[in-house]
Structure 1
Amino acid sequence: MSEFKRSALMLALAAAGVCPWLASADTTALQQNSNQPAQTPTAVESSSKKTDKEQIEVIEVRSFAGSLIQSLNVKRFNDTVSETISADDLGALPDVSMADALTRLPGVSAVRTGGQASEINIRGMEGGFVFSTLNGREQVSTSGKRNIEFDQYPSELINSAAVYKSPKASLIEGGVAGSVELQTASPLKAAEQHNFVVNARGSFNDRADEVSDATEMGDRFSFSYQGKYLDDTLGLSLGYARLFQPSVSTQFVGFNYNNEKDVDGVKGDSTPAELISEGFEMQHRGGEETRNGYVAALEWAPDEKLTIKADAFISKFDTKAFARGFRAKFESSGAIIDNAIIKDNLMIGGTIKRASDGNTRVEMVNDDNTDFDEVRSYGFNTDYQLTDDLSVNLDIAHSSSSSNFRNGLLWSLASTDANAAKPVVDPNVSITYLLNGLDLPSIGINQAASFTDINKMLVSKYGIYPTLNTDEVDAYRLDFTYKIENPVISSLEAGLRYSERDYTNDRQVFEFGADNMFLASEAPLRLTQDMVKVVNFKGDFAAFPSYLAIDLNKALAAWFPNGIPQPKQTWGNGYAGLANPVPGGKSTPWSVFESGDVYEDVTAAYLMANIDTEVFGLPLTGNLGVRMVETKQQATNLTYVDGDASQGAQYITDEAGLVSDDYAPSIVGMKYRDYLPQLNLNLALTDNDQLRFAAAKVMSRPPINQLSAVTTFTIGSNGDVSGSATKSPFLKPFYAEQFDLSYERYFEDSSGALVAAVFYKNIKSFIQQDTITDFDFAAAGFPLPAYVPGTEPGNPDGLPPRTPNPIGDYSTAVNNDEGGYIRGAELAYTQVFKFLPEFWQGLGLSASYSYTESEISTEVQNGRQSFKADLKGLSPNVFTVTAFFEYEGFETRLSTRFRDDFVSDQSALQDQEIRYEAEMVMDYQASYQVTEQLGLLFQVNNLLDEPTKSYWGDTAYTGTIQFFGRQYYLGATYSF
């Protein structure tokens, strides 16, 4: 059977005319014969490298069509349900990142952040359900969750990518939606003895001129080197990729409906008060994104039995951005509202005026945000063929990330007289607006003239809100493969893996002044002409008021000539911190509550049989296995004990010196074990037709930041304990049972394929807030006093000492047992029209369509408004179409990606779910190969200037309307 598969593969690749360049595509072509995951080189691969490798290296991919055919051949001979992108595909396309590249695969869609793809969804499930590896090694993220931000990975440094929609026992667990495997180059598989490629491109954004001080031009540069030495036993690969691009957008954001007031004049229980929005904002956003990526690999194969490889990948993504404009904030019940326009009990228009002692206001916003993200991945792999039948593979891996996000703000308010000795906020505020669904609203503000007048505007508040994340995992893996002579099973695989993951989140808050008034103790800043300039909205937004853009450095230097003072901090419950706290003093350090550490240790083992047999005379291949996973998770915890030292109360100080002695620190958590059976079968109906079936139990762990803990618990006079927390280190994974069935038809002459698939996932549970009864607080590690308060020995109440009962109710984030199904169908078609006359033989089409539905729905509660929502990330209809044409070195193609409405997090407001409008993104590319070494390229991303639009449950309740512009690229590639 293995000879049949190997011969079929070589015939298919030879017919495709695909070539030595693929040799840099690492191990993907060899996986078909080894029945091994793409995650690590295998002993079977090592034993075959003097036979299969030599044949693979005669393959040649020279075009987009060739890369598509290569991807189909990898899919054809993989032993799981998967989608792949070939090395040439990645090298030929100027995708900004791997997120853009992956969205061209069936069933894969992206969430755009700042106009470009970042997080991906697979089969209607969001990024938290997607597990990702690089060279077979678990990757951590800068997101503060488990969601991988694929824009961190330059496409120039990745040689191949695969999306595994069905798992097998040898793959690392973690993806209910699927797993994404990225591979960097293996230098010993390079086509040439020495190969050097240089790529340079310039870029231009056509909306940058609408944003004052925005950058219009960007650039991309990359080079890579692959070389073989010592009679091809030592290989070296090096790569560097730099991206500098403008980040530009103009946006309107409608805020959530969190205020309530009876504005229609109809009273009574049957007509509840109407919900009023918190307000809206109009902003210009601009900035610069700089990404520097580095990759290196050293590979040594002194003989056919031993291969040793060390590799490293580093990506640094820095963002410096500003957000300028104005923000209207509505007060709640005290507001004066005229001419209210109501739709389904929500106010979508009217005139709002400030009450005499109210807070309705318009803030002029000059925010300055920076984000410094870094991902690092290092690995060492040894593959050794112990005997002709037994091989062993050892892999040691380290992946780490760090993120330093600083949200800085400078807010101004209109005053009656900015030059007054004691300026006051202008109370004459009148805001008239009418939402227009998914189009821009109508807005009128009586203070609009003041927004550009330094005799009216005063800076009232300065603040910085840092979020510091670090995440790292160390992993050790040992795999064995044993070939056997059996009419059903071709080999057995077994392995062990151990990993330790540490996650740290550190929140900080620094504030000076106030956002709704001018403080006498922290006097506002009077603006001077040299600090400001008038900015006008343009294009679609030209009707909105102008405002003052403030030079942040000049403003701060004038406001704080002796340096920024130690800031006062005001917390959510109204307590004010002390600049120089005295031990024993109390405050409410919110930043400490938002911070914490999570520790996760995982031990896994698997056993898998690779199937190679016949059923009714038809070849049947695949695998059957089970994976055991034991997880130990713990988190730092703060438990409210009201300063009781007997319960472990300690002084806790945050970054600004605020002190609290109300809480007892501890480490709490749990351990659990899972068994994940998995089956993959592939039946070859004919030489060109095959049927796949897969079944598995899969899991995805909760977002790692949701495992941290801050708990409040009380002990009643009877000794009963009860507690509550919004997060929990006792959350277990999401589980699902899934089934896949697909039919694949590969056309003659390797000109394309037609693939139809159906899938079904039975999701077992989701996370929600609930109450756990009979929870054992003592066993979980929570600090409990020795005696019930008031009954300790010597207590003046004279009550007999009583030990607390550690069993009680715990209200927290829990795994509910109300899951449901996700099911759908996928159709993919790729065709190079070789049957046409010679000139048109380079014409082709690649298209895919996926339909997904789910019975799972949630009630999204944002403030006082709620709406029924589908599973986050689920778009019922997703399709991609690429039409291409190639002739004598010239290539052109037009790509379109469409996805239906879906629910995700609001991009402008943290931690709020919102519904996004359907979108269609179109890209165009043309290239010409001038010589064998030199190629030229032109591309337009977001050809239709597609905006991002969102809404609060109904299109009438506008969320975000954000335009990013088109991005143009012009560049060249030179190889020698």
Structure 2
Amino acid sequence: MNKFKLSLLSLAVSTAGLSSMVVAQQQPPADEPTVEEQQVEVIQVRGFASSLFRSLDSKRFGDVVSETISADDLGALPDVSIADALTRLPGISAVRTGGQAAEINIRGMSGGFVFSTLNGREQVSTSGKRNIEFDQYPSELINSAAVYKSPKASLIEGGVAGTVELKTASVLQNDKDHSFNVNLRGMFNDRASDVPDGKDTGHRFSFSYQGKFLDNTLGLALGYARLYQPSVATQFVGFAYNTSRDLNNDNQLEYLSEGFEIQHRGGEETRNGFMGSIEWQPHDAFSLKADAFISKFDKEAFARGFRVKFESDTASIGNPLYNGSSVIGGNIGRTTNGFTRVEIVNDDNRDYDEVKSFGIAANWDINDRTKLVFDVSHSAASSDFRNGLLWALVAEDATVANPVLDTNVSINYQLNGLNLPGIGLNQADAFSDINRLMVSKYGIYPYVNSDEVNAAKLDLTFDLDLPLVRSLEMGVRYSARRYSNDRSVFEYGSDGMFLTSQPPLRLTADMTKVVDFKGDFASYPSYLAIDLDKALAAWFPQGVPQPVQSWGAGNPDVINRDANSNVSTAWSVLESGNVYEDVLASYLMANLDTELFGLPLTGNIGIRRVTTDQRATNLSDVNKEPEQGAQNIADETGLINTRYASGIVGEKYTKHLPSLNLNLALTDQWLLRFASAKVISRAPINRLASTTSFNISDLGVVTGNSSNSPFLRPFEANQYDLSLEYYFSSGAIAAALFYKDIKSFIQDDEIPEFDFSTLGFNVPETFIPDPESGVPVATRNGSLFTAVNNDNGGYIRGVEIAWTQVFNTLPGAFAGLGAQLSYSYTESEITRENNLGGELVSSPFEGLSKNVVNATLFWEYEGIDTRINGRYRSPFVSSQVGIDEQITNFHSELVVDFQAGYQFNDNLKLLFQVNNLTDEPTKSYFGDKAQTGTIQFFGRQYFVGAVYSF
């Protein structure tokens, strides 16, 4: 019986880092000539082509539908983060944050549906959700990355879109006994000069060491990567259409935006990554490996400019311009009781993120047929985001003892679609006048979350070598995940008026400077940039009070209301909470090796059983009713609230996830794959936290309201993949069809006859008259408006085509020419309702671009290597941050990167690189291009550096 297997893959890696020789061939039957007797086809490839062939080899001989990235050594990948590298794979696109790839979309599905592992271990995220922020992972410390588009039973569950598996180095598999790599690059951003106080230079530095000791039985790998880069942008951001009025007296509502802002953004980002591993293999049958990975990503940023707040429900609106029923221009004025205004904004944001991953794995070949793997791991992520805001408003005269707010506000504006709008502001001259402008409010809003998972798993493999089943795998995994979210707040003053109890701050020349817009934004008015530290020192000479989690001293539900508190709302306490998620999973999988119509057939069939026990803290608003469990709950300031009942609520569920992967070798070069599986993605972990309010009517009818729900079930889908792949001596061509039948989504809805008591809510028994007899009947049921799983799903389907080739048959220097091209088309019947542009409309599924194209052209010759890469995605829906998170339509974008290098000798290579070569902006809109969302420019990044290896 023929068995289609990889018998030899030899990569002779030169000390320069990326020269290799690839040999891949088929194992002959026993009656055919041996490998030594056959003519072996040798393909000489260098540089970028080396990693391409290695990736093709992983894809070809993998047992699932996958895409891979492979580096010959640590530090070989050129990208700022592994997110950039992943976006060059077929069917994968990125959402740019601050101009750089962070979250990835797979086959038209957003980051919340993407699961990720590091060395086979579940990763948690700093996002406060489940979305993995891949820019947290330096490419210099990642040896390979695989995207599994079809699952198998042995893979950890959690990705409807796909699973991304990252791997660090495995030292004992290295060809060299010792290797060392140093990478240093300087960086320059060409748009920093447009941003006052923006930094234009940065650097990347990394080193790695891999060594084998004690007769190759002990391996050590160490790596460090540092990124320091400026973060600059100039932007216009429009706000959602959250107000409606009948402007024409025609009994029809017109929709009005909350306003817009025009800002300079700048700052610096520093990421320090650490990697270490120790492998011990005293004999062939046993190995022990310990891994550690730490990434600290600190971002300090400022945003300066002006924010226009229409406050349209009270404003005077003249000469409105319409796009349908939505207003996209006109004259906005402040009325006597209104709050229309222009705020001069000086935001100061700080975001400290850390990801840690530790694990120990033991591999033991118990005998010739039985293998055991035991793995324990810890993954933790923490994020400390502090949003500090300093607002300034225009006074009639800031030099007098009791300044008065200038309420003569007139705003003329007209949106211009995907181009910058035209605006006119009657107070524009005052924005840069310290005799008119005064600081009116300071606020700081920390958002601190932590997320960690501890896990242990045991896997057994039995080699059977039966006619149908090559081996049998089974295993069990237990994980305990703990998530916490803590909000706190400090506010002083007002952003809409001058308060006498908290008077505004008079600005002085030493704490301000005049800032001008440049380039495309040059027509917008100048403003005063305010030194935050100097302003706060003048406003709070005794020291700035720190934000706290507080019920608020002015809250009528709080006893000891004269206690020291700086907020008058329960918001900070209610927005905080914990989630507990325990998962027990087991699986059974048969690895297949047989024939179909005389053709070699491999693959696997299996089932994974997953039991999830999820719980969350809950604060129920029971209106101080003791019989409903009202408690005395203290906050950080010592204030005691008597309105709420605290508890822990949740539920337990079990899912069975079958999977099938079949790979049919049509010839030595043609491969046909089919995959089918049931997959799940758990609900965003922050949406499991709960705060619930109740109301009991005079008739005893109970109604409840909760913005989130600890009872959310996972997203479910049945998916199918079919791909045809052709591998030839200098490359490969692959075409794939995929279909996902999504069963449910999360939406806010009302659940009638909800049984509060059995699910842990402390609701008293009430008596409701029977509709027929009128006799009161005891019940604890009622209606609950909350986040629910809506079973109105639908399909996502598409096609992917990929082509990779090195033109090694061309003469002379042209033999180093190569290309990589992929195209993905995705469509879906799933739509989401969105009213941020005014009227309720259906928008495409979040993250879905119908067309995604990725093209790379590279050339390597006598030490020279160069390549250019372009990544295009058609319009898609995603979130942006205005005043709050906003779901908007993003315009299509084409991001182009360029890299060139020269190999001086076996050790030294010089590099030149440009990211975002065409300075591609990010542009978005609210449903229709006439309703501008975001126009944001980030600039080009230039890198010059060297790699030294030995």
TM-score normalized with structure 1 length: 0.91
Match of 1:776 in 2: 755
In structure 2, runs of 5+ residues without a counterpart are 28-34, 36-41, 769-774
Shift of 1:190: 1.9
| Contact 1:433–1:442, Cα closer than 8 Å, also in 2 | yes
Equivalent position amino acid for 1:617 in 2: G
1:2 shift after superposition = 8.8
**Count of residue pairs the alignment pairs up:** 927
Match of 2:91 in 1: 107
Residue 5 (1) aligns with residue 5 (2): yes
Distance 1:763 1:449, change over 3 A: same
Q: More displaced, 477-486 or 579-588?
A: 579-588
Q: Is the 8 A contact 1:18 1:62 kept in 2?
A: no
Deviation at 1:867, TM superposition (A): 2.9
Q: Which residue of 1 aligns with 2:578?
A: 597
Cα offsets for 1:583-602 (capped at 9, x unmatched): 99996411111111000000
1:237 and 2:221 aligned: yes
Q: Would you say the 8 A contact 1:591–1:654 is kept in 2?
A: no
Structure 1 residue 702: Cα displacement: 0.3
1:855-875 deviation per Cα after TM superposition (whole angstroms, max 9, x unaligned): 001111338543321110000
Q: Contact 2:537–2:543 at 8 Å: present in 1 too?
A: yes
Counterpart residue number, 2:465: 485
Alignment partner of 1:6: what SS? coil
1:555-605, Cα deviation, whole Å (9 max, x unpaired): 111111111247899999996999973599996411111111000000000
| Cα separation, partners in 2 of 1:526 and 1:436, compared to 1, 3 Å | same
1:661 matches 2:635: no
- Residue type matched to 1:277 in 2? S
C-alpha separation between the residues in 1 aligned to 2:169 and 2:199? 34
CA contact (8 A) 1:875 1:901 kept: yes
Q: 1:598 to 1:567 in 2, by over 3 A?
A: closer
Q: Which has the higher helix share?
A: 1
Q: 2:2 & 2:344 partners in 1: Cα distance? A: 69
In the aligned structure 1, how far is the partner of 2:552 from the partner of 2:926?
25
Cα distance, 1:347 vs structure 2: 1.1
Q: Is contact 1:141–1:148 with CA below 8 Å preserved after alignment?
A: yes
User: d(CA) in 2 for partners of 1:453 and 1:466?
Assistant: 31
- Are 2:385 and 1:418 aligned? no
Query: Which residue, 147, 165, 177 being the options, matches 2:161?
Result: 177
- The equivalent of 1:903 in structure 2 is 877
Please give the alpha-carbon distance, in whole angstroms, between the structure 2 residues aligned to 1:574 and 1:912.
Answer: 31
Query: Partner residue of 1:228?
Result: 212
| Larger CA deviation: 685-694 vs 331-340 | 331-340
User: 1:975 and 2:946 equivalent?
Assistant: no
C-alpha distance in 2 between matches for 1:735 and 1:513: 48
1:854 aligns with 2:828: yes
Counterpart pick for 1:95 among 66, 79, 83: 79
Deviates more, 1:779-788 or 1:762-771: 779-788
Deviation at 1:193, TM superposition (A): 1.1
- Identity %, equivalent residues: 62
- Residues 804-883 of structure 1 correspond to what in structure 2 (within 5 A)? 805-862=779-836, 864-883=838-857
Q: Which whole-Å CA distance do the structure 1 matches of 2:23 and 2:704 have between them?
A: 55
> Are the equivalent residues in 2 in contact too, given 1:313–1:378 (CA < 8 A)?
yes
**Among candidates 284, 288, 300, match of residue 304 of structure 1:** 284
Asked if 1 retains the 8 angstrom alpha-carbon contact of 2:629 and 2:645, the reply is yes
Task: Summarize the alignment of residues 366-381 of structure 1 with structure 2, pairs less than 5 Å apart.
Answer: 366-381=346-361
Q: Which residue of 1 aligns with 2:733?
A: 754
Partner of 2:301: 321
1:162 alignment partner AA: A
Counterpart for residue 146 of structure 1 = 130
Deviation at 1:380, TM superposition (A): 0.5
2:890 pairs with one of 884, 891, 916 = 916
Q: In the alignment, what sits opposite 1:634?
A: 615
State the shift of 1:910 in Å. Answer: 3.2
Shift of 1:512: 0.3
**CA distance in structure 2 between the aligned counterparts of 1:399 and 1:661, rounded to whole angstroms:** 38
- Which of residues 392, 395, 402 in structure 1 aligns to 2:375? 395
Which segment is superposed worse, 857-866 or 329-338?
857-866
Instruction: Give SS of 1:100's match.
Output: helix
Q: Which runs of 5+ in 1 are unaligned?
A: 34-50, 52-57, 790-800
Distance 1:24 1:190 in 2: 14
**Cα RMSD after superposing both structures:** 2.7
> Is the aligned partner of 1:122 residue 2:75?
no
Counterpart of 2:38 in structure 1 is none
Matches within 5 A, 1:332-347: 332-347=312-327
Structure-2 change in CA distance of 1:547 and 1:403 (3 Å): same
Match of 2:342 in 1: 362
Matched-pair contact (CA < 8 Å) for 1:107–1:849: yes
Q: Deviations over 1:455-479 (max 9, x none)?
A: 0000000010000000000000000
Residue of structure 1 in register with 2:250 after alignment:
268
Verify the 8 A CA contact 2:903 2:909 in the aligned structure 1.
yes
Say which is worse superposed, 703-712 or 584-593, in terms of deviation.
584-593
Aligned mates of 1:390, 1:22 — CA distance in 2:
40
What secondary structure, in the 3-state scheme, does the structure 2 residue paired with 1:779 have?
helix
Letter in 2 for 1:194: H
In structure 2, C-alpha distance between the alignment counterparts of 1:185 and 1:816, rounded to whole Å = 43
Find the aligned partners of 1:24 and 1:471 in 2 and give their Cα distance. Answer: 38
Q: CA deviation at 1:911?
A: 2.6
The secondary structure found in structure 2 opposite 1:5 is: coil
Give matches, 1:236-255, under 5 Å.
236-255=220-239
- 2:31 aligns with none
- AA aligned to 2:115 is F
Distance 1:163 1:427 in 2: 57
AA at the equivalent of 1:930: F
Structure 1: how far apart are the matches of 2:548 and 2:354? 31
CA distance in 2: counterparts of 1:679 and 1:592, whole angstroms: 47
1:584 and 1:534, CA in 2 relative to 1: closer, same or farther beyond 3 A? closer
Query: Residues 565 and 845 of structure 1: is their aligned pair in 2 closer, same or farther, counting only changes over 3 Å?
Result: closer
Q: Is the 8 A contact 2:103 2:134 kept in 1?
A: yes
1:212 to 191, 196, 201: 196
- Counterparts of 1:555-704 in structure 2, within 5 Å, are 555-565=535-545, 581=561, 588-655=569-636, 659-704=640-685
Q: Which amino acid aligns with 1:759?
A: F
Tell me how far apart the structure 1 counterparts of residues 415 and 554 of structure 2 sit (CA, whole Å): 33
State the 1:705 CA deviation.
0.3
Tell whether the 8 Å contact from 2:396 to 2:405 is kept in structure 1 after alignment.
Answer: yes
**What is the TM-score normalised by the length of structure 2?**
0.94
Q: Evaluate the alpha carbon distance shift between residue 497 and residue 138 of structure 1 in structure 2; reply closer, same or farther with a 3 A threshold.
A: same
Q: Name 1:745's counterpart in structure 2.
A: 726
Instruction: Please tell me the residue identity of whatever aligns with 1:5.
Output: K
| Structure 2 residue aligned with 1:47 | none
Deviation digits for residues 338-377 of structure 1 (CA, Å, limit 9, x no counterpart) = 2221120111111111112221110000010000000000
1:294 equivalent in alignment to 2:274: yes
